Amino acid sequence: MQTNKQTNKQTNKQTTLVFILFFPLLFALGLMPQANTFAIYFMEQVDMHVFGGTASTGLLCSCYAIARSLLVGVVLWALGYAAFSQLEVEVSKGGYTERVFLCLKV
């Protein structure tokens, strides 16, 4: 007697195989986008919704925009972390690191 886990696994396998077999028909009817078109669309949506970016025109442009946004986010996070971790120490000194962070953030 098979368990539900094995039955679900076999059902998922069969469904995946049928879907893969119908790929050429789905592409021919225009129901599925090309792989690069899907990648451009997906990366464009990530850039818009996560980083507040704008539309992109190609895959290379989308990769560059995501990488640029990630790099800027990491740099600002590091500066903010450095500034606010030293905030208690530098309150009496006038603290320049939080000022640098806030200037770069703008």
Quickly state the pLDDT bin for 87 (edges 50, 70, 90).
Answer: low
Q: What angle (nearest 5°) sits at the alpha carbon of residue 43, between those of residues 70 and 53?
A: 60
Percent of the chain scoring above 70 in pLDDT: 81
> What pLDDT is recorded for position 8?
85
Quickly state the pLDDT bin for 94 (edges 50, 70, 90).
Answer: low
Whether 101 has a pLDDT exceeding 80, the answer reads no
Neighbours of 53 (CB within 10 A): 18
Predicted confidence (pLDDT) per residue in 30-76, tens digit: 887 888 888 899 999 999 999 888 888 888 999 999 999 999 989 88
Predicted confidence (pLDDT) per residue in 2-14, tens digit: 567 778 888 989 9
Task: Give the Å distances, CA to CA, from 62 to 49, 90, 103.
Answer: 13, 41, 27
Burial of 36 (0-12, 13-18, 19+ CB in 10 A): exposed
> What pLDDT is recorded for position 49?
92
